[in-house]
Structure formats: C-alpha cells, structure tokens
Amino acid sequence: MTTAPTAPAGPVTTTARPDRPARAPRQLRWLLRLHRPAVLAWTAFVLVAGAALLWLGGPLTDASAAAWKDYNACAFSERCSYDQDAIVRYKDVYTYTTSAVLVAPFLVAAWAGGSLTGRELESGTARLAWTQGVTPARWLAGRLALPAVLVAASTGLLVWLHRLAWTAGEGRIDTAKPWDDAATFYANGTVPVALALAGLCLGALEGLLLRRSLAALTTAAVVLGGLWATVHTALPHLWPTVTVVSSLRNGPSGAGIAVGEGVLTSGGDRLSAPCSSGMIPGCRTELADLGATGFYRDVHPVAHYWPLQLTASAVLLVVAALLALTAFRVLRLRTAGPAGKGGPA
C-alpha cells in the first residue's frame, strides 16, 4: 500500500498587513539607533548629576553640618577651628547641581528642535521613513512618545534627588537656601518635569516649522526661556495669598513669597507704604498723614508650596499638549500629497 508523499515541514510564514502596527518595534529600534549619541549623552548627564546630588545629600551635608556646628560652638572664642572648605564645597556643589536640574528642560528643547525633528527633515531621513510604510503621524508620535517617558522619568529622578539633598541640609546648615529661594523653589518641585515635556513638544514643533537643525535648536531654547519667564511671573497669582497684618511700629512682616505690601487705612483702603517702620520719626508723620492703621503683606507661606508647584505644572502640561497638537497639525498640512501621506513638505 502506498501513500502520497507529504510536503516537508517548514516554517509557516504569514504576510503582515501594511497598516498593522507591527512596525512599531522596528521604528523604536531605528529611533534609538538614529539618536544613540543623544541618548548616551543624556544618560551620562543624568548619572553624573544624580551622583553629585547623592554626594551632596550625604557626605557633603554631614561634613558641612559638622563644620557649622564647630563654628557656632566657638563663635565667641579668640581661637576657632572649623572646616571652612567643607562649607564652601557644599555651597558650590549645591549651586552646580541646582543649575543642572534647571538647565535640563533647555537641553531637551534644544535636542528636540535640533535633532529629533529638525535634522531629520533637513537631511531627508523623515521622508525616507514615510516612503517605507510609516505615516507622518505615526512617525511623529514615535518621536514624541518614548522621549516623553524617558524625559519625564529622568528629570523627575533628578528633582527627587535634589529635594532629598536639600531636605538633608535643612536646619543643619546655616547658609542652606530657604524653600522660597527661586532656584531652590523650582528645583525641588514638579515644574522642571512639566517644563521639560513642554520643551520636548516645543522643540519638535520648531523643527517641523523651520526644518533646519541649528535654527530650530536655538529657537526652541529661547522660546522655552520665554515660557518659563511667563510662568514665573504668573506663578504667585495662581493661588490665593495670605494677608499678614502688622503694627505700624513693627513694619511689614510675613515670611514666604511676597506678592504685595503696603499700609491699611482706617477706612479699609490699601495704599503704598511711604516707609517701612513707624519707629522712624519722619515715617511716623507720613503714616499719620495717610491715616494708616497698620502694615499688610500678601504672601505665600510654605504651606502653599505644592499648590503653587502643581498648578504651574498643570499649566505647563496644558501648553505641552497644545504644542503637540499643533505639531501634528503642521505635519499634516505639510505632508498632504496626492496619496494622502508623504507628500511634498
């Protein structure tokens, strides 16, 4: 009895539909390979800054706190011995690491404008991707999604480490920056993370608009600086203030972020203060002429730290979303061709 020969077993192959998102892993590998130098440079930046912050919050804080303890113990002695180098070293490293946290969003914006979209459009790499079954919208989404996750995670890590380092020195180091110091205020909160995401979307948009890497790099960094300045100016007004009233003898008082101050009259009016204390004879006369009954100061106390941070971050995230939507809109308009994709830019 004979049987019909059977075909040899072999691998079963299937043809993937071109519109199926199976190309995503290949796009991811291509994105990482294309921007490998930037990824390595950013990783090195985060590692170095993170190591410096760990050093700051550990050995440097302990050494500086011990030096300040020795200094305060012998402040009224003729012969005083304390480690001045430890105090100076802590101050310098704190300044450098704080600057690193605050400059991170600008690095992201410059890279996004100069390399992420600007250079790819300038060199034609983007058009090559569009001719290989990747729609322009998916191309842009791939260039925003993964960097957004990496940027948010790494910038958030630096902010967290900075806050740990600052908290370690709070109350132990006499020259430690207060919470309302501008640089410390931002580096300890969520604003740098939101600003970095806004910088990513802003840089991508500038790259699409200018299609020149150097021009997009510069413009993105400058515009992001303007955005931060705007948020900084508006931030004290994003949350209701607390009014602290003090006597004419003591002058204005109230610790925190001051928003406004002046004098109160018997009729309840608020006027600009002509001077700062009723203890000064000339000032006492001016205050009496105004009918002033006390000083007032509108401030944000330390309890307002997180409301201010989160509100400002929310505003920046909304701006980032609008920038991303605008980038997709610009890309769609510039790539609208006969086939609906990959048309003339």
Q: Which of 68, 57, 90 is nearest to 167 (CA)?
A: 57
Q: What is the mean pLDDT of residues 287-305?
A: 87
User: pLDDT-based confidence at 274, cuts 50/70/90?
Assistant: confident
Tell me the range of 82-91, 224-233, 250-259, 272-281 where mean pLDDT is highest.
224-233
Q: Which of 24, 113, 26 is nearest to 327 (CA)?
A: 113
Tell me the range of 25-39, 92-106, 168-182 where mean pLDDT is highest.
92-106
Whether pLDDT at 24 is above 60: no
Tokens standing for 18? 């071109």
Helices (H), the chain: 24-34, 36-55, 61-73, 84-111, 118-123, 125-130, 136-169, 182-187, 191-210, 213-234, 281-290, 305-334
User: pLDDT-based confidence at 131, cuts 50/70/90?
Assistant: confident
Whether pLDDT at 90 is above 90: yes
Backbone CA torsion sign across 327, 229, 95, 165: negative
Percent of the chain whose predicted confidence (pLDDT) is above 90: 45
Whether pLDDT at 297 is above 80: yes
Task: Pick the range with the lowest mean pLDDT from 179-183, 196-200, 287-291.
Answer: 287-291
Residues 6+ apart with CB under 8 A from 218: 110, 113
CA–CA dist 252, 247 (Å, integer): 8
Task: Pick the range with the lowest mean pLDDT from 1-15, 230-244, 256-270.
Answer: 1-15
| Single-letter code of the amino acid located at 10 | G
Q: Which of 233, 231, 209 is nearest to 105 (CA)?
A: 231
CA–CA dist 92, 86 (Å, integer): 10
Tokens standing for 146? 């993964």
* Coil, helix or strand at residue 8: coil
Whether pLDDT at 284 is above 90: no
pLDDT the model gives residue 301: 94
Tokens standing for 330? 């610009």
Q: What is the mean pLDDT of residues 285-299?
A: 82
Is 0.75 topped by the overall pTM?
yes
Whether pLDDT at 340 is above 60: no
Whether pLDDT at 335 is above 50: yes
Q: Which long-range contacts (CB under 8 A, 24 or more apart) does 233-240 make?
A: 234/312, 234/315, 235/308, 235/311, 235/312, 236/300, 236/308, 238/308, 238/311, 238/312, 238/315, 239/300, 239/304, 239/307, 239/308, 239/311
Backbone CA torsion sign across 113, 156, 136, 331: negative
Strand partners, 297: 244, 261
pLDDT the model gives residue 261: 84
With residue 244 as reference, give the H or E element that holds it: strand 242-246
Residues 6+ apart with CB under 8 A from 45: 100, 104, 107
CA–CA dist 200, 107 (Å, integer): 9
